[in-house]
Structures are given as structure tokens and as C-alpha cells.
């Protein structure tokens, strides 16, 4: 007889939200029912805000020194981590490999489900070993139920390193993280409309938390000025238009002048702004930005922004 799987019925994400006859609902009723459940998310996210902020504070110093943020998860959780990691380079001109998404089953699992891979507590260890983690790095395991062996095994291994990274678990239950994991980002989203389908409320909340972590980290590390993504990579028509509008707003100048500054600086928004505001050459702008650790406010406003 095959061994029975662990009983997870006590987990909040596995419990039932009631016995609504969804199979009898009209399209209008289903939309209303699902949206009513999603309306509970802001309260759950607000309750988790202190833990989210504490994690950001903990990983910021190491990240600024050149450390990396590694997300890892299985299924929907892993896909959301890979998605957030992949957005950072074009949005913030972050070098590849500074935010990394690891998913159970590898990149093929982004399109095709590899559900069995999540049961292997050693499944992520080869990739983590290859990263040669250190104290400036951080690892955030993502698991809606908080008990996924792939995630728990990886976190336990990372936390036990001689010089461990900052370790955290993002989950939607109170199941405790492995020993040595300092941060538990617990967003209690409650039972799902479709019982156990954590791609729904839990997935939505997870995406919001990852957005918050990565965006806050980019802001704190100097890649944002005011509320503008001044470090974006203008790699297509949409982003060139956005880059020109950012330049025009900060300098300020008209649209044509903004594009001229952008092209003179080979698409570098921060350098274009410095050239215009400081009346200097692109090379001088790059030197000023380098001296200011890339923080635009230190060059054009003369303050630290801290």
C-alpha cells in the first residue's frame, strides 16, 4: 500500500468557505461571489504589513552591498516569484541575477505543471549551492500553505549555512517556518472560494506582497526618484515614450527636448536628467551618478534621500 500523504486539513488554505453550490451559479453570481472574497484581501495584507516591512529592512543593507534576493516556490508560488524577478531588470535597469526566481521543476514548470516536484525537500538544493549564498543574500520561500517540502527543505538548508542569508517564508497560514528562518510573512487570506485553490486569493495576495518587496527594495536602493522609475531601460516604443515623459517632468523640458537628452545619453534616463539639470556632458553625468551610487537625488537635489 502506498504511504498516505500528510493530513493538511488543519491549514486555513485547505478549509472550506462554506457549501455554496457554485456549479449552479450564473456568470454574474460567480463574478460577485469571487469579488466578494477578494475584497477581504486588503485587511489581511494590512495585518501582515509589519512583517513585510521588517523583511525589507532586514534585506536592504545586504542588497545595497551587492547581495541577491532569491525567491523559490512550487506551482503558482514559484511562477509568481519568477514573474516578479523577471520584471526587475527592464523596470529598474537591475543587472540580471540580482533578483532570482527558482521554481520546482525548472523553467519548464512555468508553462507545464510539475506538481510532483514540490514534494522533494532537496529539489532546490543544487541551484542554491550553485549560487554560493552568503550573508548579503536573502532567500524568500513562497508557499501558500506554508508546508511545501520543496520550500521547507530549501529554507532549512539555507538557514543552516555557516554564514546564512537572510531567510523568510511567505505563506497564507500560521504553519511555522523551519528552524533558523527569521522572518514569517504570514498573510491570512482565509479559505478559498474554490476550496484549496490557492492560485486565487492566496495567489493574488502573494503577488501583491512580492510587488511590495521588490518595488520597496528598488526605491530604497536608489532606482526611483519621487514616484518615477528613472532607472528604466527604454527598450521599446512604450518605454521610450515613458522615459521622455519622466525626463520632461523632472528637468522640466518639452517632449522634443526630452527625446534629445535621452538619445544623447543612449537611453539612460538618469544621465539624461543630470545632463539637462547640471548642463554637463553624458560622461560627466555618468561620473556624477557613479559618485552618488546612482542616486539621482544626490546629484540634482544635493540630499541623500535616506
pLDDT band at 10, cuts 50/70/90? confident
pLDDT on residue 113: 78
CATH numbers and ranges of domains, the chain: 24-220 (3.40.50.10490), 237-300 (1.10.8.1080)
pLDDT on residue 172: 98
Taking only the tens place, the pLDDT of each residue in 87-103 is 999 999 999 999 999 99
- What are the cell numbers at 166? 537572510
pLDDT on residue 17: 84
Instruction: Flag whether pLDDT at 144 surpasses 70.
Output: yes
Determine what percent of the chain is predicted with pLDDT higher than 70: 98
Residues 187 and 173: their CA atoms lie apart, in Å, by: 7
For 266, phi then psi, to 5°, come to 55, 40
How much is the average pLDDT of 154-167?
Answer: 99
Lowest mean pLDDT among 62-66, 90-94, 204-208, 302-306: 302-306
CA angle 91/95/98 to nearest 5° reads 100
pLDDT on residue 165: 99
At 273, is the secondary structure helix, strand, or coil?
helix
pLDDT on residue 304: 52
pLDDT on residue 302: 76
Taking only the tens place, the pLDDT of each residue in 104-117 is 999 988 888 777 78
> Which residues belong to the active site?
87, 118
pLDDT band at 12, cuts 50/70/90? confident
Cβ partners under 8 Å of residue 4, min gap 6: none
> Cα 18 from chain centroid?
32
Instruction: Flag whether pLDDT at 26 surpasses 60.
Output: yes
Taking only the tens place, the pLDDT of each residue in 226-249 is 999 999 888 899 999 999 999 999
Amino acid at each position: 500500500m502506498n504511504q498516505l500523504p500528510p493530513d493538511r486539513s488543519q491549514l486555513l488554505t485547505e478549509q472550506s468557505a462554506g457549501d455554496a453550490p457554485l456549479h449552479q451559479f450564473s456568470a454574474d453570481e460567480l463574478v460577485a461571489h469571487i469579488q466578494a472574497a477578494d475584497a477581504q484581501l486588503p485587511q489581511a495584507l494590512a495585518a501582515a504589513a509589519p512583517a513585510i516591512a521588517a523583511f525589507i529592512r532586514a534585506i536592504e543593507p545586504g542588497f545595497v552591498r551587492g547581495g541577491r534576493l532569491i525567491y523559490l516556490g512550487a506551482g503558482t508560488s514559484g511562477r509568481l516569484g519568477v514573474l516578479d524577478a523577471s520584471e526587475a531588470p527592464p523596470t529598474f535597469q537591475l543587472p540580471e541575477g540580482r533578483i532570482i526566481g527558482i521554481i520546482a521543476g525548472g523553467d519548464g514548470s512555468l508553462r507545464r505543471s510539475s506538481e510532483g516536484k514540490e514534494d522533494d525537500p532537496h529539489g532546490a538544493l543544487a541551484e542554491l549551492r550553485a549560487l554560493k549564498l552568503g550573508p548579503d543574500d536573502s532567500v524568500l520561500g513562497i508557499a501558500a500553505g506554508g508546508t511545501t517540502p520543496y520550500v521547507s527543505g530549501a529554507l532549512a538548508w539555507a538557514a543552516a549555512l555557516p554564514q546564512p542569508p537572510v531567510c523568510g517564508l511567505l505563506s497564507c497560514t500560521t504553519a511555522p517556518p523551519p528552524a533558523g528562518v527569521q522572518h514569517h510573512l504570514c498573510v491570512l487570506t482565509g479559505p478559498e472560494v474554490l476550496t484549496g485553490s490557492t492560485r486565487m486569493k492566496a495567489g493574488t495576495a502573494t503577488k501583491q506582497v512580492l510587488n511590495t518587496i521588490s518595488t520597496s527594495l528598488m526605491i530604497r536602493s536608489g532606482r526611483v526618484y519621487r514616484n518615477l522609475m528613472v532607472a528604466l531601460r527604454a527598450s521599446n516604443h512604450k518605454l521610450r515614450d515613458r522615459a521622455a515623459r519622466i525626463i520632461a517632468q523632472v528637468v522640466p523640458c518639452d517632449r522634443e527636448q526630452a527625446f534629445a537628452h535621452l538619445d544623447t545619453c543612449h537611453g539612460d534616463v538618469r544621465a539624461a536628467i543630470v545632463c539637462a539639470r547640471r548642463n554637463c556632458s553624458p560622461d560627466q553625468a555618468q561620473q556624477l551618478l557613479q559618485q552618488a551610487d546612482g542616486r539621482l537625488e544626490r546629484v540634482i537635489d544635493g540630499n541623500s534621500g535616506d
